[in-house]
Homo-oligomer: A and B are copies of this chain.
Amino acid sequence: MTTTIRLRADALRAFTSELFQRLGLPADDAAIASDVLVRADLRGVETHGIRNLQKNYVDHFRAGRANPRPQIRVLAESPCTALVDGDGGLGLVVGVRAMDLCIEKAKAAGVGIVVVRRSRHFGMAGYYSERCLEHGLIGVAMSDNGDACVVPTYGRQPMLNTNPLSVAAPAGEEPDFLLDMATSVVPGNRLARARERGQKIPLGWGCDQEGTPCDDPQAVLKARWLLPLGSTPELSSHKGYGLGVVVDILTGVLGGGLYGNLVDRAPADEPWLDRGSAAHFFLALRVDLFRPLSDFQSTMDDMLRSLKSSERASGYDRIYVHGEKEYEALQERSQHGIPYERQVIDGLNALAAEFGVDPIRVPAVFDGESEPLEWKPARAG
């Protein structure tokens, strides 16, 4: 008897969208937010998908901190730039609306740069950069997603969020290039997973209270002390640290929003700041201002193929390019549904019960993986 349940992506989208509506979101915003989360799972980026629904999103509504009906406003604007105020709305919604404005500007002016203040956790950074691809644009997305949990090089106090950054570029016949990375060695969820499974973590992911690298996920999580990409000073952790600071400069410092450990210092004149606050940066760039898009795409194909076919190190049988694994997951999961452990579905159904949403109905007992399950709302009227 397996506990793996497969859900159709559209079923999960409908379910999540219904839940977001019960939390007060307008239908179109609820559809956007659920698409961002479900796409992370479709692409196999499970650290940023539906598993975070309660902790990163629902709990903030319960606490009365997230704004279900934000007045998203453009505070300053030029032909290629904008500063957007998210009014405490979900980053999943504010982020998409801001990136769409960025795309619009890039299409008209060649480049779009949009900075967002007073938003909240925006999920998978790659969702936003990838959104540029169908328009023949290179896309960039960055976010300070809240809580400080990364220490600077030589430090032991959390001063930076994992500050993810993503870059997407359109290929031709190859899967599009999509880099989506925390500027820490790993995102925090990777430690929680290791703890759940009772596993040690590699030395270099996090440190203990003295700032010394440590392989016990419990000790690292308790302290919330992740290490910046590079891990140690001698392996150049100042670079990961510096990239994290760059993300803060382009998001919160440039936008007058959240950066660094500002939440911990709780300035009295920024009452909107809380542990769920976030700030974003988006950039979109028209490829065809430099070269015909098809030429660029052919060169992308050449580069990606040359990387994939280059000589492999001893003990490895494949070289990947960024976005390739996720593309393969997307193909497979679009067709066969997204696999979840039973307790993930149980968690969703607990939320469904609380907010009056029809539950996802799973067979009580079955052998092997489930067939991809459907879900339809049982709406009154």
Contact = CB atoms under 8 A, between A and B. Distances in A.
Interface string A140-159: 00000000000111111101
B234 A155 contact: no
Given A202-B235, A235-B202, A299-B259, A154 B312 contact: yes
A312 B155 contact: yes
Contacts of A261: 306, 310
A173 B321 CA distance: 42
Contacts of A111: 80-81, 111, 113
Q: Interface residues of A toward B: which range?
A: 35 or more
A249 B177 contact: yes
Interface in A81-116: 81, 83, 109-111, 113, 115
Contact of A157 (B138, B229, B310): B310
A169 interface: yes
A287 B156 contact: no
A211 B265 CA distance: 46
A207 interface: yes
A60 to B, nearest CB: 25
Contacts of A238: 181, 320, 322
B231 A313 contact: no
A153 B320 contact: yes
A141 to B, nearest CB: 13
A111 B321 CA distance: 30
A158 B80 CA distance: 38
Contacts of A154: 312-313, 316, 318-320
A245 B307 contact: yes
Identical subunits present: 2
Contact of A156 (B76, B78, B311): B311
A221 interface: no
A254 B80 contact: no
A299 B230 contact: no
Interface in A165-183: 167, 169, 177, 179, 181
Nearest to A140: B246
A1 interface: no
Given A254-B290, A259-B299, A242 B310 contact: no
Given A290-B115, A291-B256, A78 B110 contact: yes
A255 B290 contact: yes
B167 A246 contact: yes
Interface in A185-229: 185-186, 202, 204-205, 207, 210-212, 229
A242 to B, nearest CB: 4
Interface in A275-290: 285-287, 289-290
Contacts of A295: 256
A250 interface: yes
B296 A152 contact: no
B289 A81 contact: yes
